[in-house]
Structure 1
Amino acid sequence: MGSNWTERVSAFCLRPSRFLSDTTADTFLAELLRELRDDRASCGVKLVLLSPLCEYPSLLCPSDVVGEETALELMSVFAQCPPWSLQLRCQLLVALTCVLQCSSCASSRSAASQDFLELLLQVSQDSSDIHGDGSQRFLRATACECLWEMEACCPGLLSQHLELVGGLRQRETCRLHQAFAGLQTLVLRNAVYQLSRQTGAAAKNLKALLEGNSSLAWEADQDSGPPSEDPAPLASLITAPMGSVPTLHTGPDCKELRSVLSSLLEESYLLTPLCQAGMLFRLMEVVAMVPGIPPAIFRAQLLRLLGTSEVCLFHVTLLMKCAFTDSLFSSEDEAFILKRLLMLSQHPLLATPEKLFFMDCLLHFPENCPISCGDSDEALPVLLTPRLAAVLLPTVFNDSATLLARLNLLSLVYLEEEEEEEGGGLAFLSEHVASLLHIVDNGGGREFVVTFFRAAFLFLLRFCHVERYTTSLSHQLCQLYLRHAHLAPHLINMADQTQDRLADPAWTLDFLKILQKGISEVPPARLTLPDLGWHLKVLARVAEESQISQHATLSFLSAILTPSSSSPRLGGDWHRGNGVLAVCRRLLVHPSLDSLLVPLADVLLHLACRYGDTDIQDHARLYYALITTLSREKLAAVLTPGKGEGGCQVKKRTLSCIMSESEGPTGVLAVHQADKPVLRLVAASSEPAADAGDQNPSEDEDVQDEVALQTYREQLADPDFASEITLTYRLTHSEERDPRFDHVFSVRLHFQLTDGSYDDLQDISVPCVFRDRPSPAVTLRLKPRHPYPTTLHVTAIFTAADGLCWHAALPDIQVAFPQLFQPLPAPRTWTPASRLKVFRGLWEEICSEDSDAAVSLFCCRLQESDLVALVTKHFLPFLVSDASRKDEFSIAVFLPPQSHVLLKIRPEDDAVHFHIATDNWQLLPRINSYLLTITSPQEAAVS
């Protein structure tokens, strides 16, 4: 019966809606409660039965009536539960809390919630230990946590028990002291807030609460609604403007409240930093609501708080400064906090997220005399001078987040300066951005490229008005692009973002003009086909600007379309032809079209008559007909529907001037865009790699030690040797069925790389894909330039059964790092001993080299059986040592184009040691991450 309930509860928690489709919530709840009342059920089964009530109480108890009945049943089970069933009793309290809160019984102060509240208070006061092992403390701790949850969700619920909670805190000397201290602070804060919302509440009401006289405390509230009817402001009381904080006028005589606050503050150092921060925050709210308590009550805690490096405590200190400003913090305190933030922002022992937090605090520093009130924008404190901020000057050795944060902070600092001398702060930032550009120019990785462009954008955002620096940056960016054309998407994105964010778009226009001039002046001999595709994208972006002359763009298009011995030949490439058409399309709607008419018509006519792709010819012929037939207004209406007068009607009217028949034929000739994925590539099960031991022993040859490595190296002298990785996929339909695409024909797959780590992939043609037939295989041959994981964007053009041509995007293909692993490409006739000799030779070479070679050590705890299973599952194709030896495994992994990863796995007394040697040090982080993944407990559980 227990296993049956385990399966049912697991099925419910996995998919509650599907589970309840076969039954009802009331029926399932009744079965749960009936089984909980059964004395024959074990405690383990009852714990399983309580999990639905803890995780889905709203689903099982949708109304307060059902919730109250369920709570009464659970309290009955709790009363009958034996004292030794500690875990079950704790879980019952948690389930009761969830049910009463989610069914609104607690907020409506129902009888069941009041009974449960009394039960929690009774359990929390029971300090007797029946078994003498301290187990009663766990039950009391659970009861205290449940009280905290009840009070947090229903503010004021425990206000009448404030004196009792305070007494529990004072009596506790064990770890429950912290829990009761947090509970008392929460109840005190909510009680003061509720009193401040009442009419006529005064010091006597607060004093009565602190002394436990509940009848006197709430006599003014007998005719009003429950005190928790508006709990929303409690979430953001201290962060709101101080004028909106409710006030409890008690006069100067608040010695009872002052005594409670002093007692809590004096013992706060005993709590954990996170609990201290929560307590101080709520006590701040209490002091803010009671003017009779001066903020100086926190003065004794400031010395400890100002010297801490705990993020939560420093944050609550800044909130305290924001709330009380010069009422609590002197000018010397303010200067000290600022210097402390500067020190912590670059402390070498702190983690990067912590240092970034402290830098963000500098940008939102609460000043004693703030210039702006409640402004959420970043602003610097007046006391932060360039001399102080100099400790945060960015360097190229900073990580990406730290570099950008420091650059942003220093930009704001130097933005306040007047015209500076040569070599000042602004000049340093400009040189820093230039140094980042030089690193990108010399082959910086993808992450560094992104960091540089973000840094350049930040610099432009702050100093776009300083012409001598921004103009220099524009020319440097242009030269960088001409040497590395694959950076075009970053430059286009920078132009878009600066145009949107900068008040004056002059820099963007000047930058695009410089790019246009640089591209048009590239000698034909230096123009390559890959670069040409990026140049066309940049020129298409330049053509969107109405204030930029486009004659240079048209001259460039004419030059690349005119055959010459030095210029690259476009041939019939559809993508580059489409890039030329994209530029022409934007020029068709350019305001200066009248001056561009003749050269643009020549370009379109050349494409229509001489280009090698039929689709490009058809589009060029259509554009040529439009430009020679329609006026500029009608042309704009056709190419930008909705902008011309009459919208779609203008489009139909202008098209009727060209075509005598209806628009029907255009739908057959056009390529339609599918709004949902139609096809997908699913990884096929890979065939196991051939093992060297499978060769015919009579044909194997053994190689001497000194010859093995030399012979192996001679193979790698050929750059095309073992340079490809073959991945096999199945082209299938997407899971969401569309009957129109059950049968598709002439599928053309196009693959777009997301980085420069691989050579471009050729398009792949598939004759047909039928939903009711086996999926055709698609083989990708990747040729890496660098052995890194990547993502491939895939699109497809195909013909449906109705004769229409469709274009659709496929889900991206993720090429993971382990998919790049290849066995050692040694001759197939070599014996395993020869491969082991190559392994040893490579290991000695790597361990002796000082260039790109690197060695490392990875350790983990694995049993012998788990280690053998791990090697068999992940490294068997790459094993070069004798598989029967369990004391050491030698593994050689080859990663195209010419990288090696060598592993020596040895089980030691304390852990399994993975000795790593690689001739490409940049692979070490990925290798460590891969080993951490395959040796994790989750991976072991799956295997």
Structure 2
Amino acid sequence: TKTVMTEQWVEKIGFFCRSPVHFLSATGTTAETVLSELLRELREDRASANVKVLLLSPFCEQPLVLCPSHSVGEETALELMSVYSQCSPKVLPLRCHLLLAISSVLVCTDCVSRRSSATQDFLELLFLIVQDTSELHSDTVSRSLRATACDCLRELEACCPGLLSQHLELLGALRQRENSRLHQAYCELYTQVMRNSVYQLAQCTGTGPDHLKALLEGDTSAACEVTQDTDLMNSKDFGALSSLVLGPMGVAPVIHTGPDCKELRLILSSLLEDSYLLTPLAQAALLHKLIELVTMVPGIPPTVFRAQLLRLLGTTEVSLLHVTLLMKSAFTDSLFSAEDEAFLLKRLVVLSQHPLLSTFEKLFYMDCLLHFPENRPIGCGDEMLPVLLTPQLATALVPTVFNDSVTMLTRFNLLSMVYLDEEGEDEEGKGLTYLYEHLVTLLGIVGNGGNREIVTTFFRASFLFLSYFGHVENYSSQLIKHLCELYLDHTHLASQLINLANETQNKLPDSSWTVALLQGLQTAITKVPLTNLTSQELNCHLKIMARVAEERDIPQHSTLHFLSAVVVASSSSLLGNWRLGNSILAVCRCLLIHPDLDTWLVTLADVLQHMAKSYRDTDIRDHSRLYYTLLTNLSKEKLAGVLERGTATEGDHVKKRTLSYIVAESEGQASILTIHRTEKEVLKLVELKLTEPRTQFDSPDFASEVTINYNLVHNDHYEELRDISVPCLFREKPPPIVKLKLKPRQPYPTTLHASAVFTTQEGLTWYSELPEIHVSFQQTFCPVPVPPAWGRLDKLEVFSALWQEICSECEDVVESAKSLFCCQLEKEELEILVDRHFKAFLVEDDSVHGELRVFVFLPPLSHVLLKIRREEDAVNFDIATDNWHLLPHINSFLQEVTSQEQSPR
């Protein structure tokens, strides 16, 4: 039975951890049910320790699914701690996994950052475990619990920096006392807590050596004065704490302690001595934190690391060499001499080509060369070679055809930077010659049928070579010749050549190399007899010609002759292929928008007319006929506008997109047809306070108005609304005013949900949610619709008659109702309230007798009548209405307006 239960839990827990959403939907349960079931099984004595370890995995992998709020997380953590307290000391794996599960729950549900009571209880439990000395001489397995507790404390401190700062002295004592393999765990924990604590002090103003000394000695009463309100978890710039090594030009928070830092210097010396006992990764982490400590405390000289440099400069561990470079970036010539810098650079060169190292390690070392932190840098950039990396020193890194692609390209890039200075002094430099010969060698491999990887490597190397040496006419012109010959032998490389031309033109906009390459390809293609071409080769040639036709500086007469030959002289078997016809039309389309269209207009018209008549595919004939019609009936400017490219390239800005836009095959119709959704609100609705003349009441369909913009959706209390269309919206001009009449079916407050669909200057359509429009109950108030000639007495007569009718029929008529609202207002407050909210609706102001009468009409058929009078201890609002459904809204409205006017008592 236990075996079956275990198998069931294995399957169930695996399903839940892989996809909690699918698990909950497939089983029809909720996360709360799963949580209670897991906790129940964990408390069950019949379940084995292995099953309970399995049950804890969801708490570690999906804690937010089981505990969606911090309150649930705190309760779950307390339950798990209760399970821990009931566990037998012998089941160490279960106790370790319980600690990990509690840590995950507390961290992920923000209980740690909130410093909840469950977090404090868990910290007390962890400190009891790490201080337990009864296991110092026990077996290795029993130490795993203390190791896990150290890991949990380090995780809590990492997620909530400064959490353990008040326990720094205790952690230091535990580190010094521990002499087993757990010394590394205590050392890492202590270093992390000390680094975060010092950072807390550095963030505060007015800190000095006394505060630092109090922190290190455990004098919490002095240290807390500064640190209690500066938790790192609340610091907005805590992201910088991930690494404070900012280099010689960077700025890190510092504590001005002066030269007297004996306590911290002793601690650093002790930690550096202990670093020999740690694993390489732990040593690197420890040194990284100590570097940050010295950076924040200028009173400690960087020479404290001097004793470590000998082994660090000679290390073969990647992590230790990396932390050495971080150390050099932080302290430069205050720690590293010129001889140290030269030695470190030479070592990086040796390691970058060492045959016993893996490819990834050698790539890392070459990247270190490109970002080498010099003692006295002469420039700042993303990739800057150190001055000491001379061509003679870099000779060991020359690329060869036996390198893998990534290594070859990295070496090619590095050597290009090295030989760039050499080329400036001597154009016939050997380094540049070698790089070009290497490029030609790669080209030969591609020409002999190289695989896809070598083809990609060659074109990337060509781009790198042109980026650095495209201005060297001798090599760039030879490269064009070789590329044209390569293309004629391998026409399937058309896409790679076009990409190389585009990227080179973007990288070197002032260079004429791209135009020269395309012109060379144009010449080479036009010399090839058409009878020797297959359909696939012809498609590749047309793709190249379409790219050539985009260049304004290239004469297009030979392109037109080639097109004419393809259309007229080719075999009829080819003139039926839709793909080939579309390739021809792509070239024609580029020629139609070329600035020199007038010089070859007749020839292009003949090509299009011939295709419109003779091509077998109906779609191609239709497009040819359309292009021919546009060419012969529109001016050059209008033709360019109709055929304007739909997608703007970088640096360009398409100002309009016409509805008659003619789409080419590969121009991405999705961007035109898709309605894009904005990430945030880009438009805003503003309600305008308009004073309407009383003639509006002469209209039989009048209603209260709210001025808004664009599209609205609302509930059934109002008539259906239509979308609003605004022809054009200018940023520099005042926004257009649009009016929308809301016709209430019931005069209730409501919320209008608005959105906008608009087209930008680039021609893209966007959808944006707009802020909701809240229509308050008061906004539905209207004066009573009586003839304009009526005076005050006439309105008062209507008020009295309607009041009497409502009072006499409220018991018989279901819809009528009376009510009373009372509040405490001073005389002046009442006058302000009436003037602000009821002035437009007053029909009688009998201040002598202390009674005011208010007559409000609420479309479409409701009325509200108020008699306001002052009593000895209150103000009474007698309410009468022919629609009792309005009473809750009337009461809420009166509560709101009277509370605004009441003075604090």
The structural deviation recorded for 1:182 is: 1.2
Partner of 2:242: 235
Deviations 1:252-278 (A, max 9, x none): 111111111111111212211111111
CA contact (8 A) 1:367 1:381 kept: yes
Q: Report whether the alignment pairs 1:385 with 2:390.
A: yes
Q: Match of 1:935?
A: none
Q: Any conservation in 1 of the 2:446–2:455 contact (CA below 8 Å)?
A: yes
The Cα shift of 1:568 comes to 9.5
Does residue 651 (structure 1) correspond to residue 666 (structure 2)? The answer is no
Q: Which residue of 1 aligns with 2:220?
A: 214
Judged with a 3 Å threshold, the aligned counterparts in structure 2 of structure 1 residues 388 and 510 are, in CA distance, closer, same or farther, namely same
Which residue of the partner structure matches residue 587 of structure 1?
591
Deviations 1:101-147 (A, max 9, x none): 11111112222212211211111222424995432211111111111
Structure 2 equivalent of residue 610 of structure 1? 614
**For residue 621 of structure 2, what is the amino acid of its counterpart?**
Q
For the residue of structure 2 that corresponds to 1:52, the secondary structure is helix
- Answering whether residue 631 of structure 2 is matched by residue 624 of structure 1, we say no
Which aligned pairs between 1:501-540 and structure 2 lie closer than 5 A?
501-540=507-546
Find the aligned partners of 1:641 and 1:101 in 2 and give their Cα distance.
53
8 A Cα contact 1:129 1:135, kept in partner: no
- List per-residue Cα deviations over 1:182-221 (Å, max 9, x = no partner): 1111111111101112233322232233233333332344
Task: Give the Cα separation in 2 of the matches to 1:554 and 1:339.
Answer: 59
Which whole-Å CA distance do the structure 1 matches of 2:611 and 2:193 have between them? 79
| Conservation of the 8 A alpha-carbon contact between 1:527 and 1:568 | no
Structure 1: how far apart are the matches of 2:472 and 2:654? 43
**CA distance in 1: counterparts of 2:393 and 2:302, whole angstroms:** 30
**SS at structure 1 position matched to 2:234:** coil
- Compared with structure 1, are the counterparts of its residues 212 and 386 closer, same or farther at alpha carbon in structure 2 (3 Å cutoff)? same
Aligned pairs for 1:904-943 (under 5 A) are none
Contact 2:409 2:457 in 1 (8 A): yes
Equivalent in 31, 41, 48 of residue 42 of structure 1: 48
Query: What is the aligned partner in structure 2 of residue 560 from structure 1?
Result: 566
Q: 1:179 & 1:324 partners in 2: Cα distance?
A: 28
Equivalent residues in 2 for 1:352-367 (5 A)? 352-367=359-374
Match of 1:136 among 137, 142, 149: 142
- Describe the superposition over 1:420-450 as per-residue Cα deviations: whole angstroms up to 9, x where unpaired: 1635211211111111111111221111111
Which structure would you say has the larger Rg?
2
Whether the 8 Å CA contact 1:362–1:381 is kept in 2: the answer is yes
Contact 1:637 1:650 in 2 (8 A): no
Gaps of 5+ in 1: 656-665, 677-943
**What TM-score, normalized by structure 1, do the two folds share?**
0.66
Indicate the residue corresponding to 1:401 in structure 2: 406
Q: Displacement of 1:404 after TM fit?
A: 0.6
The one-letter amino acid paired with 2:421 is: E
Is 1:326 matched with 2:330? no
Tell me, yes or no, if the aligned pair for 2:161 and 2:231 is still in contact at 8 Å. no
Counterpart CA distance in 1 for 2:443 and 2:19 is: 53
Greater Cα offset, 394-403 or 488-497: 394-403
CA 1:598–1:470: 2 relative to 1, 3 Å: same
Per-residue CA distance 1:479-518 (angstroms, 9 max, x = gap) = 1101111111110110111111114141111111111111
Task: Give distance in 2, aligned partners of 1:243 and 1:430.
Answer: 40
* Runs of 4+ more than 6 Å apart: 641-646, 671-676
Aligned residue number for residue 65 of structure 1:
71
Structure 2 CA distance for aligned equivalents of residues 387 and 470 of structure 1 = 25
1:23-62 residue CA offsets vs partner (Å, 9 max, x unmatched)? 4333332332233223233222322221221112222223
Residue 369 of structure 1 and its aligned partner are, at CA, apart by 0.7
Structure 2 equivalent of residue 302 of structure 1: 309
Alignment of 1:26 with 2:59, yes or no, is no
Paired-residue identity, %: 62
Count of residue pairs brought into register by the alignment: 655
Does residue 121 in structure 1 map to residue 130 in structure 2?
Answer: no
CA shift at 1:464, angstroms?
Answer: 1.3
Aligned mates of 2:259, 2:425 — CA distance in 1? 54
Give the distance between the partners of 1:281 and 1:176, measured in 2 at CA: 20
Q: Secondary structure at the match of 2:260?
A: coil
Instruction: Give 1:582's aligned amino acid.
Output: A
C-alpha displacement at 1:584, in angstroms?
0.8
1:236, CA displacement in angstroms? 3.0
2:627 is matched by which residue type in structure 1? Y
- The letter of the residue matching 1:105 is C
**For residues 873-914 of structure 1, what are the alpha-carbon distances to aligned partners after superposition, in whole Å with 9 as ceiling and x for unaligned?**
xxxxxxxxxxxxxxxxxxxxxxxxxxxxxxxxxxxxxxxxxx
- Counterparts of 1:383 and 1:225, CA distance in 2: 45
Aligned-partner Cα distance in 2 for 1:406–1:163: 50
AA of the residue aligned to 2:96 = C
Does structure 1 conserve the Cα–Cα contact (< 8 Å) formed by 2:391 and 2:419?
A: yes
- State which of 262, 265, 272 in structure 2 corresponds to 1:258: 265
Q: Aligned pair 1:492/2:501, yes or no?
A: no
Deviations 1:354-402 (A, max 9, x none): 11111111111111111224x3x21111111111111111111111111
If the length of structure 2 is used for normalisation, what is the TM-score? Answer: 0.69
Query: Partner letter of residue 244 of structure 1?
Result: V
- Distance apart, 1:613 and its partner CA: 2.5
* 1-structure distance, mates of 2:668, 2:46: 67
In the TM superposition, what is the alpha-carbon distance from 1:548 to its structure 2 partner?
Answer: 1.4
Q: Distance in 2 between matches of 1:674 and 1:408?
A: 37
Deviations 1:262-318 (A, max 9, x none): 111112122111111111111000000001110011111111111112211111111
1:482 aligns with 2:491: no
2:608 corresponds to 1:599: no
One-letter identity of the residue aligned with 1:600: L
CA contact (8 A) 1:74 1:96 kept: yes
Distance 1:312 1:649 in 2: 59
CA contact (8 A) 1:280 1:316 kept: yes
Q: Partners in 2 of 1:406 and 1:26 — Cα distance?
A: 57
Q: Quick one: distance in 1 between partners of 2:607 and 2:106?
A: 76
- Native 8 Å contact 1:205 1:218 kept in 2: no
Q: C-alpha separation between the residues in 2 aligned to 1:131 and 1:178?
A: 17
CA contact (8 A) 2:165 2:197 kept: yes
Q: CA RMSD in A?
A: 2.6
Query: Counterpart of 1:520 in structure 2: which amino acid?
Result: T
| CA positional deviation for 1:551 | 0.6
Please state whether the residue corresponding to 1:329 is helix, strand or coil. Answer: coil
CA contact (8 A) 2:200 2:227 kept: no
Question: 1:604 is matched by which residue type in structure 2?
Answer: L
SS of 2:569's partner is coil
Unaligned 5+ residue runs, structure 2?
A: 673-905
Superposed displacement of residue 352, structure 1: 0.9
**Aligned AA (1:256):** E
Instruction: Specify whether residues 55 and 571 from structure 1 end up closer, same or farther in structure 2 by C-alpha distance, changes over 3 A only.
Output: same
CA distance in 2, matches of 1:57, 1:537: 55
The residue aligned with 1:348 is: 355
Secondary structure at the aligned position of 1:76 is classed as helix
What SS does the corresponding residue of 2:114 show, helix, strand or coil?
coil
Equivalent position amino acid for 1:134 in 2: T
Distance 2:40 2:31 in 1: 14
Deviation string 1:757-782 (CA, Å, 9 cap, x unpaired) is xxxxxxxxxxxxxxxxxxxxxxxxxx
| Residue 455 (structure 2) pairs with residue 442 (structure 1) | no
CA distance in 1, matches of 2:198, 2:389: 38
Deviation of the 1:242 alpha carbon: 5.3
Distance of 2:207 and 2:658 partners within structure 1: 70
Question: Do 1:641 and 1:647's aligned partners in 2 also have CA atoms closer than 8 Å?
Answer: no
| 2-structure distance, mates of 1:311, 1:443 | 38
3-state SS of paired residue (1:416): helix
Pairing partner for 1:174 from 170, 180, 183:
180
Secondary structure of the residue that 1:228 maps to in structure 2? Answer: helix
